[in-house]
Amino acid sequence: MSYATGVLGYPQSAPLNAVMSDAGLSTVLIPVMGALSDRVGRCTVYFTGTVLIALFAFPFFMLVNLEQTWALFAAVIIGLGVVWPPVTATPGTMCSEIFSAEVRYTGVTLGYQIGAALAGGTAPLIATFLLAEFNGSWQPISVYLLLTAAISLTAILFAPAIARREAATEVTPVAAQNSVETSNSAEVDR
């Protein structure tokens, strides 16, 4: 927003309207991506979205820097309305599926919330710093997006193995164990 209006000189209404249009499309596509992840797998949908973010990191800024309202709309709608929903739709369920019931709440909270605060919360600050440090050049911001996508891709590649390991070590709750033991002893008594 501030890059488009402050650096490139777009009128304030242009990025606001672009983001509003994107929000409408995202609202529709996030549940669609969630449903798709039910069919093809959360890791697959998240992985695809992350690859799309990496692929669109440079074209996004190329479009915005055309300083044409249609290009700004295209960049924002493609970037936030189409590319972002696969990444947004899946983490809640995917994270809960990675951890066993005993550590799920802590694992999801530490992994997702701290990660969101450190990466998402600092992203605008880092982008502003890079913009100032490199004399208004957007390329370092795109490289930063590529690095964050690489970190996400690395993490998602390990997620299925971690989920399998957690499932193998999951302890059966005491009430369920007692139920199984009771039914087994009843069969022995017969």
Tell me: the pLDDT tens digits for 151-177? 989 988 887 666 566 556 665 555 555
Our count of domains for the chain comes to: 1
Q: What does the alpha-carbon distance between residue 88 and residue 33 come to, in Å, rounded to a whole number?
A: 9
pLDDT at res. 162: 64
Shortest CA distance to 64 belongs to which of 74, 55, 54? 74
Q: Let me know if residue 29 belongs to a domain.
A: yes
Q: What does the alpha-carbon distance between residue 51 and residue 91 come to, in Å, rounded to a whole number?
A: 15
Q: Let me know if residue 107 belongs to a domain.
A: yes
Place of tokens 């093809």: 40
Spans of the chain, pLDDT less than 50: 188-190
Residue length, the chain?
A: 190
Q: Where are the beta strands (DSSP E) in 63-162?
A: none
132: containing domain? 2-168
pLDDT at res. 3: 84
pLDDT at res. 171: 57
| Burial readout 121-159 (b: 16 or more C-beta within 10 A, e: otherwise) | eeeeeebeebbeeeeeebeebbebbeebbeebeeebeeb
State the chain's maximal CA–CA distance in angstroms: 84
Shortest CA distance to 159 belongs to which of 99, 109, 82, 77? 99
Q: Let me know if residue 141 belongs to a domain.
A: yes
Whole-structure pTM value: 0.78
pLDDT at res. 176: 53
The domain that holds 23 is classified in CATH as: 1.20.1250
Place of tokens 């809960």: 96
Output the CA torsion 125→105→26→8 (10° steps): 0
pLDDT at res. 173: 57
pLDDT digits (tens, 9 = 90+) for 173-186: 555 555 555 555 55
Q: Let me know if residue 53 belongs to a domain.
A: yes
Q: Let me know if residue 175 belongs to a domain.
A: no
pLDDT at res. 172: 56
Helices 139-169, 121-133: inter-axial angle, 10-degree rounding: 150
pLDDT at res. 102: 77
